[in-house]
């Protein structure tokens, strides 16, 4: 009888796992594109938005999304007559009990990582940054070795080397000795009428000698420092790997199992405090008090924040329905999507070294988590076959080994050959030649 396989949930005939992985790939590419454009587009109202406020609002929206899903999950296990207060009471008991306080450490690290992402994409173009972010896999593997004492195979070390080579190829300097060869600014497609109108307004509004012209030009065309962007991207990858390994260690050592959505609520809740007090108040507090929290915001910034908040939910769904290998594949697909979108929407010049770096990093990232296709170990059959020298203790004479079948004796063999059937009369032949002939009678 054939066993019926466990069916995964689907939507319109497509598995939820495949939908989540595709959505994660699109989300990863879209976040990189929107963050990059939001940090290089002309400022809104003469002021560029503060990345610290964007990080804080991202955690707020993520917390609200995960809280809503967790409340729905809890309500399914309670009677229909349960009140909203009882739902929050049950959920708060699951969130703030056990080892939930330990998640404050990875939450702080994740918040710092998100802040470094804004810095990196302010100085790196989207494809280069996306390829660099593949190094998260290398940092995660290294921190995993230190935390879990699990050595990597030679094949995985080779894949890490290939991944680093792909990233290094992307940063090979061009013939221009002043810096790297990637684009210094975003060239978004716009109509000639809008471009001329904007240039005319700028020309009539200002003089070439007015005070503060350098600050205004810095807002319109922010300076790009490739080295700073590279350091921020490497720091973001390092912090991402460190936080992931710490999170895995906490989950493995936890004695009180919690649902995936409860864990996301805990992470988002503890991320609110460093994002608010360190980012918004301590770093940008003086400027925020002057111009306001939402100064410089438009639909691009709000879309960026929404996409980043959605990413936390998609990662949780992918972890639940898929595995880490599938998530790595989705991240690799996002590299290709980012390059294609940069060419279509921003006229990004694709170079040979960028393509080579992207191909090497994608191949290495996908082969790193794959299973080694080595031959299976031979089956040990020594205990099933008898050897020339029997190592078992000798059997005492006259006793039968209980592990073997008894051999027949000589008497039993003779009895087996005999039959209870009466013998034929003397002189009677039972062969074919004796058929139909009666025995001769003696005179």
Domain layout of the chain by residue ranges: 10-205+218-368
Give the model's pLDDT for residue 302: 96
More confident residue, 304 or 211: 304
Q: Are 276 and 56 a contacting pair, CB within 8 Å?
A: yes
- For residue 241, give Cα distances in angstroms to 116, 170, 314, 359: 14, 21, 19, 22
Q: Which one, of 114, 6, 102, 14, lies nearest residue 62 by Cα?
A: 114
Tokens of residue 183, six digits: 């684009």
Say if residue 291's pLDDT is above 70: yes
Bridging pattern class, strands 10-11 and 14-15: antiparallel
Taking all residues of the chain, what is their mean pLDDT, rounded to a whole number?
Answer: 76
Residue position matching structure tokens 């050595």: 151
| Helices first, then strands: H and E counts in the chain | 16, 2
Assign 416 a pLDDT band (cuts: 50, 70, 90): low
> Which residues does residue 48 pair with via DSSP β-bridges, in sequence order?
none
The SS3 of residue 392 is coil
| pLDDT band, residue 380 (cuts 50/70/90) | low
Give me the pLDDT at residue 417, please: 57
Q: Which residue has the higher pLDDT, 287 or 218?
A: 287
pLDDT of residue 65: 92
């Amino acid at each position: 009888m054939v066993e019926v396989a466990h069916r995964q949930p689907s939507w319109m005939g497509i598995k939820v796992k495949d939908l989540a992985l595709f959505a994660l790939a699109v989300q990863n590419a879209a976040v990189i594109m929107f963050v990059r454009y939001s940090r290089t587009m002309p400022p809104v109202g003469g002021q560029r938005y503060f990345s610290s406020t964007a990080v804080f609002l991202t955690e707020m929206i993520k917390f609200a999304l995960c809280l809503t899903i967790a409340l729905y999950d809890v309500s399914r296990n309670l009677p229909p007559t349960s009140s909203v207060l009882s739902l929050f009471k049950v959920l708060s008991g699951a969130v703030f009990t056990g080892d939930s306080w330990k998640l404050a450490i990875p939450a702080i690290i994740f918040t710092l990582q998100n802040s470094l992402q804004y810095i990196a994409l302010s100085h790196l173009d989207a494809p280069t940054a996306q390829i660099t972010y593949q190094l998260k896999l290398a940092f995660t593997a290294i921190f995993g070795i230190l935390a879990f004492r699990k050595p990597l195979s030679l094949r995985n070390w080779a894949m890490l080397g290939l991944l680093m080579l792909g990233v290094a190829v992307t940063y090979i300097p061009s013939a221009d000795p002043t810096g790297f060869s990637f684009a210094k600014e975003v060239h978004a497609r716009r109509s000639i009428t809008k471009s001329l109108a904007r240039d005319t307004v700028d020309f009539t509004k200002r003089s070439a000698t007015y005070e503060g012209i350098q600050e205004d030009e810095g807002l319109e065309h922010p300076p790009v420092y490739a080295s700073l962007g590279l350091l921020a991207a490497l720091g973001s990858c390092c912090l991402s790997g460190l936080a992931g390994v710490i999170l895995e260690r906490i989950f493995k050592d936890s004695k009180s199992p919690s649902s995936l959505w409860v864990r996301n609520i805990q992470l988002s809740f503890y991320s609110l405090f460093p994002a608010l007090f360190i980012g918004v108040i301590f770093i940008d507090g003086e400027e925020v008090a002057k111009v306001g929290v939402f100064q410089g915001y438009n639909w691009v910034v709000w879309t960026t924040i929404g996409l980043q908040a959605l990413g936390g939910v998609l990662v949780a769904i992918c972890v639940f329905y898929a595995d880490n290998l599938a998530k790595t594949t989705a991240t690799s697909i996002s590299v290709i999507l980012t390059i294609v979108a940069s060419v279509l929407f921003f006229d990004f010049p694709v170079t040979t070294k960028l393509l080579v770096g992207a191909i090497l990093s994608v191949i290495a990232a996908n082969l790193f988590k794959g299973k080694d296709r080595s031959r299976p170990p031979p089956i040990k059959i020594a205990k099933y076959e008898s050897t020339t020298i029997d190592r078992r203790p000798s059997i005492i004479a006259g006793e039968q080994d209980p592990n073997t079948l008894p051999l027949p004796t000589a008497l039993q063999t003779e009895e087996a050959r005999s039959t209870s059937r009466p013998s034929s009369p003397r002189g009677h032949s039972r062969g074919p030649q004796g058929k139909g002939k009666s025995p001769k009678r003696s005179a």
